[in-house]
Amino acid sequence: MNYHMIGKVLKSRYQIVQSLGAGVFGQTYIAVDIDYPDNPKCVVKQLKVSNSQPSYLDTLRLRFLTETETLKRLGLHNQIPEFITCFEEHERFYLVQEFIEGHSLTAELPINQQWGCLWTENEVVEFLQDVLSILEFVHSQGVIHCDIKPENLIRRAVDGKLVLIDFGSIQSVDLGIDEELPIYRIPVTSLGYIPPEQFIGQTQPNSDIYALGMIAIQALTGLEALQLKGDPHTNEILWRSQDTPVNDYLAAVLSQMVRYDYQERFQSVSEVLRVLQQMVQETQHNESLEVAVENRNSAQRAASEQSSPLLTGMKVGLAANSLLMGLGVYSLVNNSPAYSETETLYKATEEYQAGDLQEAIALAKSIPSHSNVYPEVQATIEEWQQQWQQAAEQYFIAEQALNDGRWSDVLSVAPKVPDILYWQSKIDKLVQQAQFNIEAQTQDLLAKAYEKASVRDFSTALKYLRQIPKESSAGALVQKKLAEYNQKRQIRAAYFLHNAHKKALMGDFNGAVAFLHKIPKDTPIYTQVQAKLNEYTQKQRRQTQGQNVAFSMVSSTYQIENSHPGNHLPEVNVR
């Protein structure tokens, strides 16, 4: 972080107030425009300058001016930050863009299948259509974004729309990236979303489609891009499993978006949009057919019920209102029963809801067998007994869960208790106590997580956060912190890996291994860490053996020299 920039005023107008981080192509800051009374925020990007040679600066200046013209055109889209200005100061190049108030898509995505809700198919389709419409405009301007990832999609606070940001990596559609992109120059948050061809300098328009498809798969599965496995024979992403409920049509679309070979992928954004639209239309058509069939079946059932003297399938309701409504309809058809029988059944239902099952059954059984409602009463008694038993069983399960400290289980059992007022009032008390305990546990775990994060132990902090029940009212905060600490943990892991690489280049394999041991095993790059650990450990062992051999040779030489007769001084006797 370039903290020395904080407070600095550029062009006598834009005061830097916060660093947003560094990327491959430069540093990004939040600034305030001090020329305006309300000091509106804006984003300032400083282009990275590798050297100060005049020829290099001239080339960079030309490229900078070319790209700013592109950004002006892109900023005309409602879901892309507006371009404000660009300038050069002290041989540094800056561009200023609109600041988007909101939160990144990272906060909305499920993480590690442990926090946050998996997206529905409809949510994924709407997300794809929204972002694809932005990309369609971007590609029509002759550029590729090259860094589509959750952090670069902002949910704008004012209207809830997604905004595509950070066009610092844009490239010409015709030229692509000029050179290969080394992995150590790529931000950790971009890994997993960058397609294979981008690493070898063959970026295509559908490279952006690959990245977007990976985000959609994360939304459906809860797995981050680096957690997904690849087929060892085909290199295709293996993302669909039995735990991923998604229809075959959408699954095929997503798999086509993330094909390993860009030539086998969708070739344009318009093509993906067209296929998605066709899928939506077919789904709506099928749903209309299902509704029509259901309406026809309902009409047939209604006709069948009207022809039955006992109104086949009608049950006496559990609550008094629904019970009376049922009897009212029944009375119209049968011109019976007597008011006293209706009143008796109503009273039985009241007793049942109040918690006296035996009295409710006794009252119901007092209705004579010749009554028109008798068959329904018998069915109702049986239903009452089943539901009462179910309510008692679920209540005692919830009670045991509360006693055992399994508060989330209490909340999951509560909806299974049948709609009986007596049991609902009892389960509500357990739910209130469980919710209170969950909130207390949440505060304790949050405090522990903050403490560990303050000493950069992000793995333990994440462990504490993941213990927080999903039912906690702090859900949004927890999800935000999970995303934040997960990102910081990955950045820290990448930092240690980079330092280990530097130590190894200098031949300091002891230092390299020490840095690798600092990287937590649950980081996405740990597979790479293990490989480097094996490599550096072997080199460390060979280095130690070489040193031991050299020491042995020196020692042997010393012994030989000292054992030769000519090397001894003659003894002198002093009298």
Read off the tokens for 390.
């179910």
Selection from 77, 93, 165 nearest residue 85 by Cα: 93
Element (H, E) at 539: helix 526-563
Q: 181-191 b/e with 16+ CB inside 10 Å = b?
A: beeeebbbbbb
Cβ(102)–Cβ(33) below 8 Å: no
Q: How far apart are CA 174 and CA 66, in angstroms?
A: 15
Read off the tokens for 526.
């740990």
Q: Confirm whether residue 521 is marked as ligand binding.
A: no
Cβ(15)–Cβ(31) below 8 Å: yes
Q: CB-based burial of residue 173 (10 Å sphere; 0-12 exposed, 13-18 middle, 19+ buried)? A: middle
Q: How far apart are CA 258 and CA 266, in angstroms?
A: 9
The residue type found at 195 is P
Helix axes 475-505, 421-454, angle to 10 degrees: 30
Single out the catalytic residue among 35, 147, 208, 261. Answer: 147
Selection from 381, 392, 379, 382 nearest residue 418 by Cα: 392
Q: How far apart are CA 111 and CA 487, in angstroms?
A: 11
Q: What string of H, E and C letters represents the secondary structure of 237-275?
A: EECCCCCCCCCHHHHHHHHHHCCCCHHHCCCCHHHHHHH
Q: Identify whether 58 is a catalytic site residue.
A: no
Point out the residues that are catalytic: 147
Q: Which residues are annotated as part of the binding site for ATP?
A: 45
Q: Which residues are annotated as part of the binding site?
A: 45
